[in-house]
Chain A
Amino acid sequence: MTAATATGPAATVRGAPLGRLLGAELRWVLRRPRTIAFLVLFALVPVVIGAGVAIADRAGGPGRGLIGAVAGNGLVLPVAALTVSLALLLPLAVAMAAADALAGESAAGTLRGLLVAPVGRLRLVVMKAFGVLVVAAAATLVIAVLGVLCGLVVVGWAEGQMVTLSGTTLGFGEAMGRVALAAAWTTGQLLAVGAVALAVSSLTEHPLVVLAAVLGGVIVSGVLAAIPALSWLQPYLLTTGWSAGADVLRDPLPLDGLGESTLRALCYLVVGAGVTVARMLRRDA
């Protein structure tokens, strides 16, 4: 130790412990008012759907589709809420987190502080990706938990069971497993969105550019999918697989759609991570 001191700079520690960095990032993400606001918003999604279904159920017969399937069948609510939110709200939240992670920090002048500390550039990407992961996971968790609670309390449950779209019934335990699967799958899709958003975030200093890019991407994907002449494009679009979330409500559980969309998400994740790292290793801060 003393010898190390004597040899001077060569004995320097290479970086702060990674766990400490991740902890700092976690605190930063969860202290941010925007994150809290989004989580509250996500807590409201199942409540609003549940209340709406309960009212509509009293007024008339059940509606069609996934929301209709919630009526009297509360354990479907978390899955329906996740599917509805995945269309726009969840990607928006993740894009926001990714926008703040690099572009926002750069614009606020706080990225310099971290780089000078120093946080190595690769570690910085890991740290920031972790922050986005936290937001994605927290958002789906809030929807899933509030969805289950609200489903049981507001909508009521089908004798403690979940009625699948296929007309079979699942016990409470298996139903919880299905909700957990939906949440995990949704988080996976969101991580792909987050990785791409982080890549955009690493390329710009304007957080709004990231939001616009992600929302634009989601909306344009939807439009492209609706054009029959461009059907060849569909297998490349992340959003193509987003209807697979409803698969957890089928019985026997079909894994094809969930698996394929997860693999596609993984590819997007890898592309996003590669671009982010390549860019951040050289980015002027």
Chain B
Amino acid sequence: MRRFGRPVAAAVAVAGLVGLGLLAVPAGAGAQPELPPVTPEELVRSVLEAKPGPFAGTVEAENALGLPALPGLPAAAADGTSTARVWAGDERQGRVQLPTSDSERTFVTDGATFWTWDSDTREVTTGSRAAQPGRGPAVDPATAAGELIDRLGGSSTLAVDGTAEVAGRPAYELVLAPQPTERTLLREIRIAVDAEKRMPLRLVVLANGSPDPALRIGFTDVAFGPQDPALFTFTPPPGSTVRTAPAERPGNRRGAPNAQVRTVGDGWDAVHVAERGAQAPGNIPDLDRIGTRVSGPWGSGRLITSVVGSVLVTDDGRIAAGAVPEQVLTEALTR
């Protein structure tokens, strides 16, 4: 027994190492699944019309936007990987949980009422669904990609670039690239669309000048089917502070209150310009320490750039932002 013992023990140790390697290496992108061909237009239409029904899933976002770390911004905005757990119910019901290593933020809506919960502050914010724009944070690729297709479809060249497997499901790779006239920092957006449910499963944003995605949001795990209705309601736990969101002041506290937002241009090089007034400096981070000082016929201000977009904050209180270079922002300000 002793003679065979050592080789066996050594083999066991090696098996453990191999197991560790298998665990560490992500399940490789398997062979591209065979799917019936589809035209880009058909695919886009089916995405916009799709009703995937209830599902539960885990979303992983990989962020390389190159945003400066700003106090007051959610941790997910900084470069790195973050995870969200997403549930969708039948109609406008949803639940999103954003875990960090030792806390969690939860967003729940039953269609009529919404609740948000932050485990760090133990605060519950609740209000009627009408008071909350959108469906909670657009953390799931389905929502985000749907909005993008809606907004950018017209100014893009569309293509279906083969197939892929996302979260174990076969999917078409829809590629949106800006038309040559669009003056944007972005190169292309790739959306993996579930072959059966026609729900976007993964969204990849590629910027000019970099082969690596600036942003990748995708399901790592998704299951369609009826969900427990208890997921879409929320009872404030004992010991929590409940705040009711005022119905007449939509938006979250961190946004610019009473801001007038207008959009200059459309498609990929659309620029959003907001007049926030010079007041309420406490609401936005101190910009003097980040960004570069710029000036021009439009006035002067600070420019913050990232891989996928730029923001210009002028000294007289205007904000221009878009997935565009500086020049397009300043043009939008003078218009």
Tell me the A residues contacting B by CB distance below 8 Å: 62, 64-66, 68-69, 71-73, 83, 121-122, 158-159, 161, 163-169, 235-236, 243, 246-247, 250, 252, 254, 256, 260, 263-264, 266-278, 281-282
Give every chain B residue within 8 A of A256 (Cβ-Cβ).
58, 221
Chain B 223-276 residues near chain A, CB threshold 8 A: 231, 234-240
Segment of B98-106, B165-173, B304-312, B319-327 engaged in the interface with chain A? B98-106
Q: Residue of A at shortest CB range from B14? A: A274
Residue total for B at the interface (Cβ-Cβ under 8 A): 42
A167 is contacted by which of B1, B20, B234 (Cβ under 8 Å)?
B234
A166 and B238 form a contact (CB under 8 A): no
Secondary structure at the A interface, as helix, strand, loop or mixed, is: helix
B238 is contacted by which of A68, A161, A282 (Cβ under 8 Å)?
A161
- The docked-state distance in angstroms from the alpha carbon of A252 to that of B228 is 11
Contacts A66-B102, A250-B99, A282-B6; is A166 near B16 (CB within 8 Å)? Answer: no
Known: A64-B120, A166-B104, A236-B21. 15 other contacts (CB 8 A): A83-B102, A163-B239, A163-B240, A165-B119, A169-B237, A236-B24, A247-B99, A256-B58, A270-B16, A274-B9, A274-B16, A275-B13, A278-B10, A281-B6, A281-B9
- The docked-state distance in angstroms from the alpha carbon of A66 to that of B119 is 9
A250 is contacted by which of B2, B11, B104 (Cβ under 8 Å)?
B104
- The contact sample of 26 A-B pairs, CB cut-off 8 A, is A62-B122, A64-B120, A68-B120, A121-B2, A158-B239, A163-B238, A165-B102, A167-B124, A168-B235, A169-B237, A235-B25, A236-B21, A246-B102, A254-B58, A256-B58, A256-B221, A260-B23, A266-B19, A267-B16, A267-B17, A273-B9, A273-B12, A274-B9, A274-B10, A274-B13, A275-B9
B237 and A163 form a contact (CB under 8 A): yes
**Nearest chain B CB to A162's CB is how many angstroms away?**
9
- The docked-state distance in angstroms from the alpha carbon of A267 to that of B11 is 13
A271 and B6 form a contact (CB under 8 A): no
- The docked-state distance in angstroms from the alpha carbon of A273 to that of B13 is 7
- The docked-state distance in angstroms from the alpha carbon of A250 to that of B103 is 9
- The docked-state distance in angstroms from the alpha carbon of A166 to that of B117 is 7
Secondary structure at the B interface, as helix, strand, loop or mixed, is: mixed
A169 and B238 form a contact (CB under 8 A): yes
B237 and A268 form a contact (CB under 8 A): no
Q: Kindly name the residue among A71, A73, A254, A278 whose own CB sees the greatest number of chain B CB atoms within 10 A.
A: A278
A65 and B97 form a contact (CB under 8 A): no
Give every chain A residue within 8 A of B202 (Cβ-Cβ).
none
Give every chain B residue within 8 A of A254 (Cβ-Cβ).
58, 85, 99
A267 and B104 form a contact (CB under 8 A): no
Contacts A167-B237, A252-B231; is A65 near B102 (CB within 8 Å)? Answer: yes
**Nearest chain A CB to B45's CB is how many angstroms away?**
35
- The docked-state distance in angstroms from the alpha carbon of A251 to that of B188 is 37
Contacts A167-B124, A254-B85, A278-B13; is A235 near B24 (CB within 8 Å)? Answer: yes
